[in-house]
Structure 1
Amino acid sequence: MKKIKGLIVLVFLLGLYGCSSDDPADETSKNILVNNIVVNGSNITDGNAKQFSVAVLPSNATDRTVTWSVSDESVAVISSSGLLTPMDNGTVTVTATANDASGISAEKVITISGVTGPPVFVESISITGTDITDGQPQQLSVEVLPANANNKAVTWAVSDALYASISNTGLLTPKLNGTITVTATATDGSGKVGQLQINISGVTPVYATTLKAENMLLWQRSNGGWPKEPHNDFSGYDRVQTSSEITKANNEKNNTDTTTDNGHTITEIRSLMSAYKATQNPDYLAAAMRGIDWVLEAQYDNGGWPQYYPLRNNYSRHITYNDNAMGNVMNLMRDIFLKRNNMDLIDASYVAKAQTAFDKGIQVILDTQVTINGAKTAWCAQHNAITLLPADARDYELASNSGSESVGIVRLLMTLDNPSSEVIDAVNKAVAWFESVKIVGYKLQDTGSDKVLVESPGNVMWARFYTLDDYTGHTYQALFNTFEPNEPFFCSRVADAEGGGPRKTIAEISHERRNGYAWYGNWPASLIGSEYSSWKTKHGI
């Protein structure tokens, strides 16, 4: 048995070493070396310079460049590009040597005749051209001296191909407004160059566009934010807008229906930054930054964000955690100051602003954690922006502790790299509250025509809303006084036959609300389990 075990270990070790990516042979195989070079060129019979070339094999060699040399520079000289310039009649060996580690080279013996005297090399090059003010191409010219130079050809280049391109005949084509340097280099081996600086203006750049980004520009309001409609689920951005939609968007530019509800404005900002990274279209960057300006302006001094801005005279002016509205904003702010997820592309001046906004946001989260009977618990879906107390929203969304929205808040706090003692306490207390209010042994069953609460041994779920400990002055104070703190409640719309206000069971509310809203869910399940355990381990709690 011991021999078998030893054999297994040996086979394992052989396999391990055989598969190791640290094997030098494996590294070498990634660098494909040259194995053959052929020099292309013929004898010179007219005493003039001739361009030589090479064929380098294999075609997929990692480095296919070569270095040129000649055996006798009194007979001919050769440039780095392979231009052979005769100096006298005679024979010379031209050599091309691979620049990689292969050591491969090739030679060709060339006979030179027709040279009637010593070659005349270029001594100076002057470029003639003017600044471009209309954004149009310009033909440049050169004066090469002396006039009797044997080879007066030049190669053209520009200092930055982003701003302009230049042809082999010297036609300069502008791309962007700016300043470039044009260079003309002699090809006779003399090494002489001429340069000219040219200022470019009058160019109207043409950038790539994307349908989604263009549609987002169309629907962006003048104040920098975006509305929730008509593309509440965002899919409408992916198609060509109808003529009536284009008219509507342009006519409503100055509307103030801008919001973070259902992920809007934040999603548009992120999409535009992604489009900007792909296209470099400055319109996308400018629109995203205007959106960020809107977000920063919308923040309350206490650190919270309303659902809509400018403020409206309804529940949307509350600090809004509902549908992770504030969580989405906070994650954007953090990406900006951490310069990640494309937010490194915006102006650096936003980093400090975003850091401040994020820190204030964390503080208001801590300040709005609900206390019940002296113990910290969770959060309402929305809090009054002045008192910071839980607040009503729609007529079936009354002040409460939320078994849903509180999950996103806790997750956000758990992502902080160096949580303060106050943050740690807030997380611990919230998780303890989730544990204390979980509903065991029941589930909401869809019968096809209705939803009913039925027994389900072992099932765990949470209610959307739980009662607070004080409803003094509330419209439904009398009804709430029949509840104990931390008790689930359910609501119809005020206009429903069942009437408004809290009910103890889901069966007591209207059929429409019972089937049209998420009253129960398992939102905190993974949070209070594996996520919470990992968080405590990470921070040694």
Structure 2
Amino acid sequence: MRCALLTKVTIMELRITTIYILLLVLMSSTDANVPSKYAKQSVEWFQSEEGRRIADNVLTWQTPHGGFPKSRDTASKPYKGKSEDLHATFDNGATIDELRFLARAYSATNEPRYKQGFLKGLSHILEAQYPTGGWPQFYPPSKSYHRHITFNDDVMARILGLLQDVSESSDYQFLKTENRAKVEAAVTKGIDCILRTQIKQNGKLTAWCAQHDEKTLEPAWGRSYEPPSISGAESVDVVRLLMSLEEPTPEIIAAIEGSVEWFRSVATNGIRQERFTNADGQDDKRIVTDPDAGPLWARFYELGSNRPIFLDRDSVFRYSLSEIGQERRTGYAYYGSWASRLLTDEYPRWRVKHKLTKE
């Protein structure tokens, strides 16, 4: 009786702890992009006492290397610890959002410290680019999977999106000609990296892995449940980035067309995900039949076969969401409608814009 009671108490404590951790994660992800909420404020706002206070707060979170940490509210309050204790990254929009914000702050106020903060961060990004054209998840890179060219969480797409804006937008007119030339060269090298990492199967261009080896450019492992594969999620923003280029070359057009064809070929129809409470009383996910459901894409597709694959932390390939454990089923996005808007709206408009012949 006592053992049963202790077991129930332990389970209850575990559930409370899990809920607490989930709340912290949600709070962190909400805070992570705080500067992006302010980046489009008016000139008057940036010149106001509140605008200057927030810009000054952001500067306190900049690391000695020039980047910013993720999952931290870098706007609401100043950082009061040691700057060397902060870990800069490009993951989850970190560094990119802060630099966009600082550029707007300087454009509105002409305050030198905001310009200096932006230039320090820009130098960090340019220094972090590999000779092969990609970026690691953070810099200096570790010896682990973080060192790989990172498409995961849209790192490559976000960095190149910022650099494109730096070379084109009026918000960055304060950049000297030599800095602008460096940025344009980095964009060219980055786009070339994207074209060279696009996975080809049976002579056809498909999409990208969530991470590629920084030297060989081959698909690479991320975490234990993120295998070399073709990503149905991260590849979407890579295509959007390529479609944003004003004068696409034949190679870029071919890359876009190939990926769109691949997205169409691997879409799954007639099913949807739903959350439910399983027999152990846990929040869970399952796939159910639904003829009215929109298309879904898997997070990972097996190289060669294009079969959706699902992994637990044991790194074993499985071919159904139900075959992995509840922890990974609910703790990771294995299915999503990621490519829907790309295929139904953005891609057709891109073709019209560039006067491409009808499909």
TM-score, length-normalised on structure 1? Answer: 0.54
One of 289, 293, 302 as aligned partner of 1:467: 302
Report the equivalent of 2:96. 266
CA–CA distance in structure 2, aligned partners of residues 409 and 461 of structure 1:
18
The structure whose RCO (Cα within 8 Å, separation 6+) is larger is 2
Contact map agreement 1:489 1:502 (CA 8 A) in 2: yes
User: How far off its partner does 1:256 sit?
Assistant: 7.5
The aligned residue for residue 457 of structure 1 is 291
- 1:427 and 1:264 map into 2 onto residues whose CA distance is 27
The aligned residue for residue 157 of structure 2 is 327
SS at match of 1:419: coil
Residue of structure 2 aligned with 1:537, choices 330, 338, 352: 352
Q: Is residue 225–residue 291 contact of structure 1 (8 Å, CA) maintained in 2?
A: yes
Aligned to 2:312: 492
| Residue 227 of structure 1: how far off its partner (Å) | 2.1
| Structure 1 residues not aligned, in runs of 5+ | 1-206, 470-484, 495-499
Deviation at 1:530, TM superposition (A): 2.0
| 1:257 match | 87
What residue is the counterpart of 1:239 in the other structure? 76
What SS class does the counterpart of residue 65 from structure 2 fall into? coil
Residue 210 (str. 1) matches residue 52 (str. 2): yes
What is the CA–CA distance in structure 2 between the aligned matches of 1:442 and 1:266, rounded to whole Å? 36
Letter of the aligned partner of 2:74 in structure 1? Answer: Y
1:303 has 2:133 as partner: yes
8 Å CA contact 1:318, 1:383 repeated in 2: yes
Q: Structure 1 or 2: larger helix share?
A: 2
Please give the residue correspondences for 1:16-415 in structure 2 after superposition, counting only pairs within 5 Å. Answer: 210-229=52-71, 231=72, 236-241=73-78, 245-246=79-80, 248=81, 251=82, 253-255=83-85, 257-340=87-170, 342-415=171-244
**Aligned residue type for 2:108:** A
Match in the other structure for 2:324: 509
Determine if contact 1:256/1:309 at 8 Å carries over to the other structure: no
Match of 1:328, SS?
A: helix
Regions of 4+ moved over 3 Å: none
- Equivalent AA in structure 2 for residue 228 of structure 1: K
Cα deviation, 1:225-268, whole Å, max 9, x if unaligned, reads: 11225x0xxxx234334xxx51x2xx2x2357321101111111
Deviation of the 1:372 alpha carbon: 1.7
1:326-357 per-residue CA deviation (whole Å, 9 max, x = no partner) reads 111111111111143x1112333221111110
Q: CA deviation at 1:388?
A: 0.3
Name 1:62's counterpart in structure 2: none
- Contact 1:223-1:254 within 8 A present in 2 as well: no
Question: How far apart, in 1, do the equivalents of 2:257 and 2:103 lie?
Answer: 36
Asked whether the 8 Å contact 2:58–2:75 carries over to 1, the reply is no
Q: Deviations over 1:54-96 (max 9, x none)?
A: xxxxxxxxxxxxxxxxxxxxxxxxxxxxxxxxxxxxxxxxxxx
Q: Any idea what SS the aligned residue of 1:275 has?
A: helix
Unaligned segments of structure 2, at least 5 residues? 1-47, 278-282
Query: 2 CA distance for matches of 1:520 and 1:454?
Result: 13
Would you say the 8 A contact 1:285–1:346 is kept in 2? Answer: no
Matched residue of 1:458: which SS? Answer: coil
Paired AA for residue 358 in structure 1: V
CA contact 2:148–2:211 (8 Å) conserved in 1: yes
- Partner Cα distance (1:240, 1:457) in 2: 49
Contact conserved, 2:154 with 2:237, CA < 8 A, in 1?
A: yes
1:540–1:293 CA distance, 2 compared to 1 (3 A): same
TM-score, normalization: structure 2? 0.81
Report the alpha carbon displacement of residue 511 of structure 1 after superposing the two structures with TM. Answer: 0.5
Could you tell me which amino acid in structure 1 is paired with residue 194 of structure 2? Answer: I
Asked which structure has the greater CA Rg, the reply is 1
- Give the Cα separation in 2 of the matches to 1:240 and 1:375: 50
| 2-structure distance, mates of 1:339, 1:456 | 45
Alignment-mate amino acid for residue 378 of structure 1: A
State how far apart, in whole Å, the 2-side matches of 1:325 and 1:225 are.
Answer: 14
Q: Distance in 2 between matches of 1:378 and 1:522?
A: 16
Q: Identity of counterpart residues, as a percentage?
A: 42
Asked whether the 8 Å contact 2:152–2:234 carries over to 1, the reply is yes
Q: C-alpha distance in 1, partners of 2:200/2:321?
A: 26
Cα deviation for residue 442 of structure 1 reads 0.6
Question: Residue type of the partner of 1:220?
Answer: Q
Instruction: Indicate conservation of the 8 Å contact 1:441/1:457, yes or no.
Output: yes
